[in-house]
Structures are given as structure tokens and as C-alpha cells.
Chains A and B, each alone.
Chain A
Amino acid sequence: MKAFLRGVGLWSPTAGTVASWLEAGAPADLGGVDEAGKRPPADLLHSRLRRRTSTLTRAAVTALVEACTAGGAPLDECRIVLASSYGEIETTVDILGQLADPEGPVSPTKFHNSVHNTATGYMSIAAGNRWPSTALAAGSRALEVGVLEALAGLAAGGPQRVVVILAEERLPAPFEREDADPTFAVALHFDAEAGGEACPESLDLPVELCELELGPEHGDDAGVGAGADGIASTLADLLPLLRRVLVDREGADTVALSQARTRGHARRWGLRIGAGAGEAS
């Protein structure tokens, strides 16, 4: 499955855009600061909607708009695939606190904002986008599965344009974990066509999904190893792709989308990037 990677968007507490992340030297640590008070702008959302939304939703919306602006994708003419392990965890944990009081009220707004597809719902409403969107969780395979789901959709018809959004919120107390991802959102705009001259900011990188060898360590023991049911860091998989696409433009042909060893998985995929990926069909 071939496509063009046209736009990238990024929001983290230390880098509000791709440009500011690059200026900071493309650091692996996207969190690393006190996150309190760092609110993504999410200008796409009307203030009436925005004040009700979580950091996750705002970060995802902010990254979506940056990717689509760079790639030249109309916000109402794309499919959206959101991949997140813990989704609207801040809102969910707020509700757990409300539920702990047997007599207490539960906020209806927090309730409907706790679903995994909250961000895609708000995006669709704000942009008037009636194309399908989806929200999924895949543990340590979030990036790989998000891209698989997205590019398979391009092949199947519908809008020839899809944005994959990877996003997490730092796990709040009492569920905090040092091995979990910090708050971040990254959006990747894939398109069947290159943007060309009409979209001067479009990356227009040809990409092709390719299946990777598992490597000798896998052997017969696909059932062993860390990963699938671990705390799952999506950033660890995402950073090599971001660096290859945004920093090291002459780098390796192929970037893996998941770790080599993940319990229970006998296949993995990568993206072949650049001229080797050939023309998108």
C-alpha cells in the first residue's frame, strides 16, 4: 500500500508545533516539564466546545490542524484514525472520583467526554466532516496499527486522504507510572496524491507499507517477550519515524513501525520512505 506522507503535526507541553520541536533539537523527551497550565490552543474548536474538552482532545485537534495545513488537506475531506492506549484518561479518572461517592452526581459532560472517540467526535463537529473516523487502542502496536488501518482505508475507497493521530495524556494519580508516555499528540497526513506545487509546505514523501522480517531472535518464541500487554510507549516507536521524516531526510529507506519483539505477534510492518517507495497508486 502506497501513499504520500504530506503533513505532520505535533503538540507537547514543551513543543507546540513541529517547528518548535525541531528548533529544540528534536528531543526524545516531549514532556519533561511541569505540564500544569500547558493547554493546547485547539483553535479549530469553537470556544463553547473547547472549554469542555480535555488536554488530549485539544492536543489531538491542534496536531490535526497543523498536519492538514502543511499537507493541504481540507479538514472536512479526510478520514481520521485516532490511536491511543489510554485515551481520555484525565476525564475518566475525574469520573472515578465522582463515582466514589455513592450519592454524588456524575457530570453528564464528563461522561460523554470520557469515550475513546471524544476527540474524533469534536473534530467531526468542528470541521463539518461526515467521513468516517475511528478510535482504537493497540498497546505497544499503536503506531503500526494506526498506519495499517489508515492505509488499508485508502486502498478501500472513500476519501483518498487520511490523518493518523497518536495521542496520550500522562497517566494521572492514582494511576501514574514512570514508564508511561507523557502528554503528546502527533498527526500524520497521508494522501493518495502528492500535494505538488499547489501545496508548497507539503512534504510529499512517497511511502509504502512493507512487512519486515522479524529477525532471528523471534524464531519460534513469538509468544515471549515484553510489549503487547506492557504499559506501552507509543512515542518510542514514533520518534524514529518523526526524525527520519523531519530531520534526517536522507536517512534509512525503511523505518519500523513497532518493536521487534512483542509478545504474541508474529508479524510487523514498516514504512519504506522516499524514492524506493515508488509512485503512489
Chain B
Amino acid sequence: MASFPITAYSACSGLGQTTAEVIDGLFAGRSGLTPADPGLGVATHVGKVPGVLPALRPEVEAYEGRQARLTQLVTLPLLPAVDAAKARWGASRIALILGTSTAGIAASESAWVHARDHGRLPASFAIERQHSIHATCEVTRLLTGITGPGYVISTACSSSGKVFASALRLLEAGIVDAALVGGVDSLCQLTVRGFASLEVLSPEPCRPFSAERRGINIGEGGALMLIERERHAPLGAGERGVALLGVGESSDAHHMTSPHPEGLGARMAMARALASAGLEASAIDQVNVHGTGTHKNDATESRALLDLFGAGEAGTLPEGLAVVATKGYTGHMLGAAGAIEAVFVAATMERALLPVSRGCDPVDPDLGVAVEGAGASQPRARQTRRALSNSLAFGGSNVSVLLGAEGEA
């Protein structure tokens, strides 16, 4: 079984600009959701990264925009770890694989209006730097000095889950010895008003897996993880490490926006993740669900869980399987969701704590799934050994990332 240690990670979201604020917010049960700017014309909540985003460093100033600033925010804290990896493996032996759905579209929105009003694009706008999907990779490349292969996966809401699959392939093929993976998405009109047009936005803070769920909230932010072939030094006493064990991907082949009614694609992704690591379903003791808070997602994803994990009497999950939904903290970070939720799973393993699935009460009894933290206000002490983290997207693009606590047989 492959096991590639995660040697560093970072995150920002509606919970805060720093990794510590984000993780502490998760375990404190704090919401990162706030009412959306009335200027958007949509009554909803969003997970907006709070405060003024730090200015870009000179080497990436040309990429000015919210997307680049969020990218820098999660990249800079990892520079020491990336430098150590460069020293060990060589800068060209590290891959750079990021996910985004929005890229810098917020800048394109205002550039379009400027062009309409002035007959030309703003001087500060270049489509390859402000708008393009691959610009997110270039910002991180310039800041880190990684010179290995680099690209951006953009498969809507599964983007930064699928980066783990790409990284695993390059590591297993021996093309690189480490990969900096993750995702960054930035708030913009296109996603908020686009999801509003699909009538899936919740006017209140989203409540995944609740009987009273009313849809999703859009979130922004980013998360990065450094995955290496092996650790530079053994873990210290009391330190718990986390490793990437496998990934599964699938396509629904059903509909552009609706999940397969029986959760077939989600189940296939989870099953393929297990197969890629040579594990049985019984080896999993936590699932971080996609759990958007729409009626359809939560119902079909529950069906997928019951089909894969339900043993004994039909329709019951094993007692030891913790089902955690975290979008009640951050909103749906779309192209960054897979990455930040992988960070949440890693933090869960490191702290031996299971966070409350914020907003799930009262849990929808029709789903047939016991949700972690139902009726609770405090995280529960328990060591997760192996977890799947799901991301399901437009186009029926599904991924499930398998992480494990190191040293757990």
C-alpha cells in the first residue's frame, strides 16, 4: 500500500486568514459564514476570508487580484517546508498541482464592465494573469521556486480533491518525489449569482444533513498540502503524522448538475479509493462527506454511504464510522473544497478529535445516517485511523481521497 506523508499544510477560509484560526475555529464550533454583500442582490450567506488580504510580493504583483492574494496567503506559510523539500529532493523533483473553479473571474467581471464603458480593458488586466486558470499555479511557482511539472485541475467542485489523484500518479510513476497540492477559490458574482440561478443557495447559514437544510453557501479561501515520498525526520514523541494512502475517481454519466439518484458515482469513487489502497470498507472509520446542504446531494451521498458501508441490517452504518460534514463552517469552497477538507481530516487525526458537523441538528431522519456531532456542541475525543474525504461536482465528476494516521495498522 502506498503511503506518502503529508509534511506540511496551510489553509484560509471564512474562519480566518491563518491555518491556526481555521483549525481552531473548526474545533471551537465557530461559524465562518456571514451575510452576503447586499450588492450581490442575492439573500444568502457566504464564507468570506475576513480582513484585508495582504499585498502581493513584488515577484507576483503582476497577478494582482483576490485570487492571487488568497493564493499567496496559503503559500507563504509553507515556504520553510517547501525549502526543506527542495533541499532534499531538488526543486525540479517537486510537482505543483492546484485546483480552482473560479480562478480570477472576479477580476474579469469588472474588466468586462470597464471595457463596455471605456471601449478597452483596464491597463492592469491581462487575461493570462488575472483571469486564467493556470495563473494560480504560476503565483505559487514564483513564490516557492518549485520548477517541476505544474498544472491546475479545474473540474468544478471536485478540482482540489482530484489534485491528490494526479499527485499520487506522478509520485507512483517516479516522475517526482514530492508534490505541493491544494486549491484556491475566490468569491465572485459568477458563482453566487450562478448558483442562485440554479435555486440551490441557502438564505441562512447552510445546514448539511439537517432536516431543515435549504441549500448551499458559497465560500472562498484555499488550502495547500505538501506530500513527500518520505519524511525527512521521524515524528517526535506524541506527534501524529498523516499520509495519503489512495484516491478514487469516477464519473456519474448522468447529468451536468444533478448527482446520480442512487449516488452511484460517489460510491464508485469511494470504492476505487479503497481499491487503490488495497483496503476493505471496514478499514475506514471516518468519512468527510461532500455534504453541501442541498436536498439532493445529502440524500444521494447518504445512499452511497449506506450502499458501501451498510452492513448487517440494511440501512445502518457501522457504529465506529464517523460521518463529518464541515461546510457549515466554511460554506462550499468549490474548487478549494477538497483541499481544505483534506486539511480538516488531517487536523482531526493529529488532534484525535472529531469536530461537530455544524448546522446538522436536527439531522434528517430520512437520510438514515448518524452524523457526527448531532446534538453536541463540543468535539468528541477519538482517534481516526483512516478517512475518506469526498468531493462531488458538476459534470458528474467525483473524487474520494483516502488519508490515514501514520503508524496505524
Contact = CB atoms under 8 A, between A and B. Distances in A.
A136 B198 contact: no
Given A96-B108, A130-B253, A135 B190 contact: no
Contacts of A175: 108, 121, 127, 131
B132 A132 contact: no
Most chain B CB atoms below 10 A, which of A125, A135, A229: A229
A92 B135 CA distance: 17
Given A116-B154, A264-B147, A132 B251 contact: yes
B185 interface: no
Interface stretch (A6-14, A28-36, A144-152, A197-205): A144-152
A264 B138 CA distance: 8
Can you list the 7 inter-chain pairs with the closest CB atoms, starting with the nearest? A121-B395, A132-B249, A116-B154, A266-B147, A111-B194, A174-B115, A137-B133
A135 B154 contact: yes
Given A99-B109, A149-B169, A136 B141 contact: no
Interface residues of A, number: 70
Given A113-B256, A231-B128, 7 more contacts: A96-B109, A100-B113, A103-B41, A115-B101, A115-B155, A131-B251, A177-B127
A124 B252 CA distance: 8
Contacts of A232: 128, 132, 134
Interface in B130-183: 131-135, 137-138, 141-142, 145, 147-156, 162, 165-166, 168-170, 172-173, 175
A145 B283 CA distance: 34
B253 A125 contact: yes
Most chain A CB atoms below 10 A, which of B141, B142, B196, B251: B251
Interface of B: 39, 41, 62-63, 91-92, 101, 105, 108-109, 111-113, 115-116, 120-121, 127-129, 131-135, 137-138, 141-142, 145, 147-156, 162, 165-166, 168-170, 172-173, 175, 189-190, 193-198, 249-257, 264-265, 268, 276, 393-397
Contacts of B175: 148, 152
Most chain B CB atoms below 10 A, which of A92, A122, A232: A92
B166 A124 contact: no
A22 interface: no
A96 B138 contact: no
B251 A139 contact: no
Contact of B134 (A103, A137, A148): A137
A155 interface: yes
Contact of A137 (B154, B190, B255): B154
Nearest to B399: A132
Nearest to B393: A117
Interface of A: 1, 76, 85-87, 92-93, 95-97, 99-100, 102-103, 105-108, 111-118, 120-122, 124-125, 127-139, 141, 144-145, 148-149, 152-153, 155-157, 171, 173-175, 177, 222-223, 228-232, 264-267
19 contacts: A85-B133, A86-B133, A87-B133, A93-B112, A111-B190, A112-B257, A116-B154, A116-B156, A118-B395, A121-B394, A128-B253, A131-B250, A131-B251, A132-B165, A155-B173, A171-B127, A173-B115, A231-B127, A267-B92
Most chain B CB atoms below 10 A, which of A85, A139, A141: A139
B173 A152 contact: yes
A8 B1 CA distance: 36
A138 B62 CA distance: 18
B251 A129 contact: yes
A214 to B, nearest CB: 10
Contacts of A173: 115
B169 to A, nearest CB: 4
Contacts of A267: 92, 147-149
Most chain B CB atoms below 10 A, which of A138, A153, A232: A138
Contacts of A228: 134, 138, 141
A127 B252 CA distance: 11
A96 B114 CA distance: 12
Given A106-B196, A152-B175, A175-B127, A117 B155 contact: yes
A146 to B, nearest CB: 9
A136 B151 contact: yes
Most chain B CB atoms below 10 A, which of A93, A99, A118, A177: A99
A124 B251 contact: yes
A112 B151 contact: no
Given A124-B251, A153-B169, A133 B397 contact: yes
A160 to B, nearest CB: 14
Contacts of A230: 128
Given A228-B138, A266-B91, A108 B198 contact: yes
Most chain A CB atoms below 10 A, which of B134, B153, B265, B394: B134
B247 to A, nearest CB: 10
Given A107-B197, A116-B155, A134 B134 contact: no
Contacts of A100: 109, 112-113, 116
A139 B166 CA distance: 17
Contacts of A124: 251-253, 395-396
Contacts of B170: 148, 152
B121 A174 contact: yes
Contacts of A112: 194, 198, 256-257, 394
A95 B250 contact: no
A274 to B, nearest CB: 22
B184 to A, nearest CB: 13
B314 to A, nearest CB: 24
Contact of B149 (A103, A106, A116, A148): A148
Given A92-B105, A115-B155, A131-B251, A121 B135 contact: no
Most chain A CB atoms below 10 A, which of B91, B196, B256, B276: B256
Most chain A CB atoms below 10 A, which of B120, B166, B169, B254: B169
A130 B264 CA distance: 9
Given A108-B198, A117-B393, A222 B253 contact: no
